[in-house]
Chains A and B, each alone.
Chain A
Amino acid sequence: MKSFITGLAAAAALTLAAAAPAAAQQNARIIVVSHGQANDPFWSVVKNGVAAAGQDMKVQVDYRAPETFDMVAMSQLIDAAVNQKPAGLIVSIPDASALGPSIQKAVAAGIPVISMNSGSDVSKKLGALLHVGQDELDAGKAAGAKLKEMGGKVGLCVNHEVGNVSLDLRCKGFAEGFGGKVTVLPVSNDPADIRAKVKAALASDGSVDTIMALGASLAGEPTVAAVKDAGKTGSVKVASFDLSANFLKAVSAGEAAFAIDQQQYLQGYLPVVFLALNAKYGLIPGGDVPSGPNLITKDKAAQVVELSAKGIR
């Protein structure tokens, strides 16, 4: 029995020792805790930016996220990060009340914090040095206004992460900028489910002429497919937040109106650079860095496609 236990433990330890990358303790360590799972195409680009900056700046970077959109679990991950005393902490803040105490604890512990992606409104108040991201409400308004200008009257906002305030703000901004009638369609984060639900929504309300998706590959692509299924390509305008290779192809083919690029690669890359420079020289920019919005329409789409396929845009 005893030999079994020790054998098992030794085997586990050995496998891990072999698999673990050589722990480089000589460099500063920067920890990223976001709410985005790495299997979400959007967040994999952020993670690529984090990794690239870590290499370029020669610092250790760790990217952490809870398995589901779980604010309680995320605050626990922040607590765990604080406990490891990193040279810098990067967080996204989709729920300030739930995450605030943990972030404030990090600040109190003397760890420089930069917020990214969501939380531009609360970043300063919680003690973060600055925010790198896109103001979701304004981005939504800009997109809504553009779609109104393109002749939209009845809109649908497809929300794939119900409970995330940033996405709620995008829909709200879209509704304000659009001006017309807007309904929010809650869906799961499964592309097949999104396609079916958008198709059903188009069938049940024939007056819908504009659809806003809140993530390109997850929601934008199935929405384009659903519009095609319904035989309404061209008559129903589709726009989406964020980029994906296929959605951009749809934009350049005229099947979708435009994509709103918040350049999330920068949201992963820049904070790591800032915190590395801060650890080395005490340097830090004087204010928030807006990484978007940047509307990618038909004329610009083709050049972005290749980079999107590489996980950079």
Chain B
Amino acid sequence: MTDVSHPTAPAAPVPPGPAAKPARDERLREVSLLTRIMRRPELGALAGLVLVTLFFLSTADASMFTLAGLMNILAPAAQLGILAIAAALLMIGGEFDLSIGSMVAFAGLIFGAFLTLTGWPLLVAIAATFAVAAFLGGLNGQIVIRTKLPSFIVTLAFLFILRGLSLVGLKWATGGSTQMRGIGERAGEGIVREIFSGNALEGLFAWLAAHDVIARFPNGTPTVTGVPVSIVWFVLFAAAATWVLLRTRAGNWIFAAGGDANAARNSGVPVDRVKTGLFMLTACAAALVAVLTVLDAGSTDSRRGFQKEFEAIIAAVIGGCLLTGGYGSAIGAFFGAIIFGMVSIGLTYTRFDSDWFQVFLGAMLLLAVLFNNFIRRKVTGER
């Protein structure tokens, strides 16, 4: 599958995609645009999304595909997707982070504590939350690198440590409760608040509703008042991650580190630095989800982010990431998260008894991954 050789990291497996195209080089085999598109790892995820959409078009209430319905699907997809994209980068880099779900709860707690206990302004509290998360992510990475233990085990330990610390910390911070309230009021109003909570483009949507482009409730308020900012973050993060992976030196390093760490090291890739950076990125993605959800909900509790680590990895795998590293894409994880959001919310629009929910979720995810795998093999000629 590696017919596109690469200038910076020739020893490593290379993303089979449209890398930066230098001036014509006779050593490179010319590949048609169609073939190149077909060989992208996210193609399977996109096909899976089409499949799931067809499924719901034939079974769900029509209101699922209204504007309000789509926003409804994208809201959980965005929160999961921010985690999944970071998890995908880390998986491409050859490691796992099972602590991100617990990190959401822990970052939510320290963010709440910085706001309500120390009374810091919102911007400072957010910056401090990211700093703590980055430190813990870096710690994860350093332990993995220095002990050479599998990251699966190290971050599994952190899954429990952070979940437990969230419980202990919450009880300490609130004087015995497992839920911290009143964070929304302490955050105050202003530009920083608007970047991390509420809706974007409210004016546009109000205008659209006034001109009857989008539906309104009987009392006149539009059914959708704007795009939740988490969706904006999700899209921007997916775009940035894709750009880094496909167009920058850091992106090549990530593929190289995950493909064959030794070969990458020998050809001058700072593998340890790359991996530590990726662990810091996943922790910061969890902190971002924590800030977004805590500000939106106005509260945090010790169960936030429960099992999100598995969902994020599932979304990354649907998106074409290999569990062995070195292959995958950020935009695939983006579609994977949307599939997940569509399945989890979409089933409420159907007439199935909710007892079947987990069966459906599991079956559809399995189907999506199988389908994804099938397409990928077909187009890459893998055996």
Interface of A toward B, CB cutoff 8 Å: 1, 4-5, 8-9, 12-13, 16-17, 19-21, 23, 38, 62-65, 67-73, 75-77, 79-81, 83-85, 95, 97-98, 100-101, 108-110, 162-165, 168, 184, 186
Instruction: Assess whether B177 is interfacial by the CB under 8 Å rule.
Output: yes
Known contacts A62-B348, A162-B167, A162-B303; A109/B55 CB under 8 A: no
8 more CB-based (< 8 A) A-B contacts, given A62-B354, A83-B72, A168-B177: A38-B355, A63-B354, A72-B76, A72-B293, A80-B349, A84-B348, A97-B298, A168-B178
CB distance from A18 to the nearest CB of B (A): 11
Please tell me which stretch of B59-67, B314-322, B326-334 contacts chain A, meaning at least 4 of its Cβ atoms lie within 8 angstroms of it: B59-67
Q: Verify A69–B345 contact, CB threshold 8 A.
A: no
Instruction: Assess whether B273 is interfacial by the CB under 8 Å rule.
Output: no
CB-CB under 8 A from A8, the residues of chain B are 51, 367, 371
Interface of B toward A, CB cutoff 8 Å: 47, 50-51, 54-55, 58-59, 61, 63-64, 66, 68-69, 72, 75-76, 79, 167, 176-179, 181-184, 217-219, 221, 223, 293, 296-299, 301-304, 306-307, 344-345, 348-355, 357-358, 361, 367, 371, 374-375, 378
Q: Verify B301–A95 contact, CB threshold 8 A.
A: yes
Known contacts A12-B55, A108-B221; A68/B303 CB under 8 A: yes
Q: How far is the CA of A13 from the CA of B53 in the complex (A)?
A: 11
Q: How far is the CA of A249 from the CA of B58 in the complex (A)?
A: 49
Q: How far is the CA of A62 from the CA of B356 in the complex (A)?
A: 13
CB distance from A50 to the nearest CB of B (A): 11
Shortest Cβ-Cβ A-B pairs, 7 listed: A98-B297, A97-B299, A97-B298, A163-B301, A13-B58, A163-B303, A109-B217
CB-CB under 8 A from B217, the residues of chain A are 108-110
Instruction: Select which of A13, A79, A109, A164 is within 8 A of B72 by beta carbon.
Output: A79
CB-CB under 8 A from A163, the residues of chain B are 178-179, 301-303
Q: Verify B63–A83 contact, CB threshold 8 A.
A: yes
Q: Verify A20–B59 contact, CB threshold 8 A.
A: yes
Known contacts A8-B371, A163-B179; A71/B297 CB under 8 A: yes
Q: Verify B297–A97 contact, CB threshold 8 A.
A: yes
Q: Verify A97–B349 contact, CB threshold 8 A.
A: no
